[in-house]
Amino acid sequence: GAGVSQSPRYKVAKRGQDVALRCDPISGHVSLFWYQQALGQGPEFLTYFQNEAQLDKSGLPSDRFFAERPEGSVSTLKIQRTQQEDSAVYLCASSLAPGIYEQYFGPGTRLTVT
């Protein structure tokens, strides 16, 4: 594909439901990042994958958040027992390799928890 794609684009969940957000990075990109963007704020780092290895999950806000990238390409961010404070845009970005700073972002998934 030409760029990073994410699905769904919009997700409404009732409090307590589990959600799964998908990211398809640019083909061949080794590095994959997840960010959370609250309304009126800049994106905040959640977690990082190098191929299939999750090397940094220091930004995940709680143990309800879980991410995986089992084959080193597509990644899924899962949020269990969603809370209202989880409402945000979740952005996925990929870059060619570690240390290549330019990251290419997907359009994001807007999650609303009611």
> Which residues contact another protein (rule: CB under 8 A)?
4, 31, 33, 35, 40-45, 48, 50, 55-56, 91, 93, 95, 98-108
Q: How far is the CB of 77 from another protein (least distance, A)?
A: 15
Q: How far is the CB of 78 from another protein (least distance, A)?
A: 20
Separation of alpha carbons 44 and 30, rounded Å: 20
Tokens of 108: 């994001």
Tokens of 1: 């594909």
Tokens of 48: 């990082």
Closer CB to another protein, 11 or 108, in the complex: 108
Q: How far is the CB of 110 from another protein (least distance, A)?
A: 8
Closer CB to another protein, 70 or 101, in the complex: 101
Half-sphere exposure of 77 (CA within 13 A, CB side): 33
Closer CB to another protein, 37 or 83, in the complex: 37
Q: How far is CA 69 from the centre of its chain?
A: 11
